């Protein structure tokens, strides 16, 4: 019998599918955007101009300065520009970094925006955001997009290795949501389906980056995974704090951390492990996720991302400062073991 549960869904309008970008102007009309900014990273500037052509006549500012870990000066500049130019909306094009900046700016100014999503990170569905790195970082919540547009055609030219890492970032959300203290049957159904979609289609993308059906199924899986975020578990605590403190790539750090966090929780969350095994078609959840990283050609250890061995003790300290809500309690010695294994990158041993 299904247990009692509480489920909350944020009100974000979703436009999904091949050709979905054709709805951009209609969505701008829906949200009464007449003076807007386009926000993206420098590497995606030409792409962003093309995909937002339908609202170019309403664009009074184009900013291609988005950067990883959202520098504080950039955040201050965007917030000031929104006010100075009297904007009534903006469009952000990209993945985690530009969308993180958009969330922070949206939360501060209360100006609505449309997210044109080009990666699998799921940042557009999570209200949490951070500005800066290390001790100077600030964090907040809110500022979700009024509409998120998912057009799989926009992912066809994303390099396969980056696509794989972004997809494993989505996988991290899905697997850890299965055993969060606030999980429920709706979340578990979405997460299980997300794991199956990602596990089946990410290898297809690596083999053929322009496989549109695989891109579509992966984007759908990523959206499913993004719909719910568990209260901070071990994977999220390790990946987020380590990448923020030591300036590591966001998606790759999540990909590395996931098998070790799942391995640590194997005995404490048997139902979640069974779901992961069935979804991936493997006999061991943690090893299955590790082997998927290998199949996708991703680094399996933090060392491969540029972290130094002398940083391990500091990494344990910064992760230990996070309140980790978990089926299995996590001691500082446990963190040293998990982070040490994740640094070396060998198959998880728990």
Same domain for 72 and 149? yes
Please say which residue of 107, 138, 155 terminates a domain. 155
Predicted confidence at residue 91, as pLDDT, reads: 97
Please say which residue of 123, 155, 187 terminates a domain. 155
120-153 confidence digits (pLDDT tens): 989 899 888 878 766 667 778 889 999 999 999 9
The answer on pLDDT for 241 being more than 60 is yes
Is 232 part of any domain? yes
In the beta sheet, which residues pair with residue 147? 13, 114
Same domain for 171 and 230? yes
The distance of Cα 260 from the centroid of its chain, to the nearest Å, equals 18
259-289 confidence digits (pLDDT tens): 999 999 999 999 999 999 999 999 999 999 9
Taking a C-beta distance cutoff of 8 angstroms, is the pair 116, 44 a contact? no
CB proximity list for 65: less than 8 A, separation 6 or greater = 41, 42, 74, 77
Q: Distance (Å, rounded) from C-alpha 38 to C-alpha 55?
A: 10
Is 5 part of any domain? no
Is 183 part of any domain? yes
Q: Distance (Å, rounded) from C-alpha 156 to C-alpha 297?
A: 18
User: What does the pLDDT average to over 164-188?
Assistant: 93
Predicted confidence at residue 134, as pLDDT, reads: 65
The DSSP call for residue 230 is P
Same domain for 247 and 130? no
Same domain for 192 and 315? yes
Q: Phi then psi for 138, rounded to 5 degrees?
A: -125, 155
Predicted confidence at residue 126, as pLDDT, reads: 85
Name the residue with higher pLDDT: 222 or 67. Answer: 222
User: What does the pLDDT average to over 173-200?
Assistant: 93
User: What does the pLDDT average to over 196-216?
Assistant: 98
Predicted confidence at residue 48, as pLDDT, reads: 96
Give per-residue burial for 78-88: e unless 16+ CB within 10 Å, then b.
bbebbeeeebb
Q: Give 2's pLDDT tier (boundaries 50, 70, 90).
A: low
- State how beta strands 138-141 and 128-131 pair: antiparallel
Name the residue with higher pLDDT: 182 or 87. Answer: 87
Please say which residue of 139, 155, 171 terminates a domain. 155
Domain extent, residue 151, equals 13-155
Q: Distance (Å, rounded) from C-alpha 49 to C-alpha 41?
A: 12
Same domain for 171 and 232? yes
User: What does the pLDDT average to over 241-258?
Assistant: 94
Same domain for 165 and 111? no
Is 199 part of any domain? yes
Taking a C-beta distance cutoff of 8 angstroms, is the pair 213, 160 a contact? no
Is 165 part of any domain? yes
Q: Give 325's pLDDT tier (boundaries 50, 70, 90).
A: confident
Average pLDDT over the chain, rounded to an integer: 93
- CATH of residue 295: 1.20.1090.10
Is 45 part of any domain? yes
55-73 confidence digits (pLDDT tens): 999 999 999 988 776 788 8
Helix (H, G, I), strand (E, B) or coil at 313: helix
Same domain for 21 and 112? yes
- CATH of residue 93: 3.40.50.1970
Q: How far is CA 51 from CA 44, 57, 93, 220, in A?
A: 10, 13, 8, 20
How many structural domains does the chain have?
A: 2
Taking a C-beta distance cutoff of 8 angstroms, is the pair 281, 157 a contact? no
Model's pTM, two decimal places? Answer: 0.91
Q: Distance (Å, rounded) from C-alpha 269 to C-alpha 249?
A: 29
Is 335 part of any domain? yes
Same domain for 251 and 114? no
Per DSSP, which regions of 145-270 are E strands? Answer: 147-150
Same domain for 269 and 295? yes
Same domain for 191 and 110? no
Altogether, the residues listed in the chain come to a count of 350
User: What does the pLDDT average to over 72-79?
Assistant: 89
Same domain for 337 and 217? yes
Predicted confidence at residue 198, as pLDDT, reads: 98
Same domain for 133 and 249? no
Is 350 part of any domain? no
């Amino acid at each position: 019998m299904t247990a009692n549960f509480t489920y909350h869904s944020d009100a974000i309008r979703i436009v999904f599918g091949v050709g979905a970008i054709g709805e951009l102007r209609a969505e701008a009309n829906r949200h009464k955007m007449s003076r807007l900014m386009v926000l993206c990273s420098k590497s995606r500037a030409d792409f962003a101009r093309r995909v937002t052509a339908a609202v170019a006549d309403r664009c009074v500012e184009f900013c291609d300065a988005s950067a990883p870990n959202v520098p504080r000066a950039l955040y201050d500049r965007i917030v000031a520009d929104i006010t100075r130019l009297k904007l009534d909306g903006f469009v952000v094009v990209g993945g985690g970094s530009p969308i993180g900046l958009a969330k922070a700016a949206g939360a501060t100014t209360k100006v609505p925006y449309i997210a044109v999503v080009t990666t699998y990170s799921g940042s557009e569905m999570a209200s949490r955001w951070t500005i800066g790195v290390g001790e100077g970082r600030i964090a907040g919540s809110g500022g979700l997009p009024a509409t998120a547009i998912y057009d799989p055609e926009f992912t066809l030219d994303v390099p396969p290795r980056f696509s794989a890492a972004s997809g494993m970032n989505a996988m991290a959300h899905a697997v850890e949501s299965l055993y969060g203290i606030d999980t429920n049957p709706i979340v578990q159904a979405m997460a299980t389906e997300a794991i199956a979609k990602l596990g089946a289609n990410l290898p297809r993308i690596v083999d053929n980056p322009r496989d549109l059906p695989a891109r579509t199924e992966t984007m759908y899986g990523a959206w499913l995974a993004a719909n719910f975020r568990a209260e901070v578990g071990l994977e999220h605590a390790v990946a987020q704090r380590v990448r923020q403190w030591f300036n590591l790539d966001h998606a790759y750090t999540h990909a590395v951390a996931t098998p070790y966090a799942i391995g640590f929780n194997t005995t404490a969350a048997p139902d979640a492990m069974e779901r992961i095994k069935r979804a991936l078609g493997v006999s061991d959840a943690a090893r299955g996720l590790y082997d998927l990283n290998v199949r996708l050609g991703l680094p399996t250890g933090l060392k491969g991302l540029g972290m130094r061995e002398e940083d391990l003790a500091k990494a344990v300290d910064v992760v230990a400062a996070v309140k980790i809500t978990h089926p299995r309690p996590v001691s500082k010695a446990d963190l040293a073991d998990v982070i040490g294994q994740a640094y070396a990158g060998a198959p998880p041993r728990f």
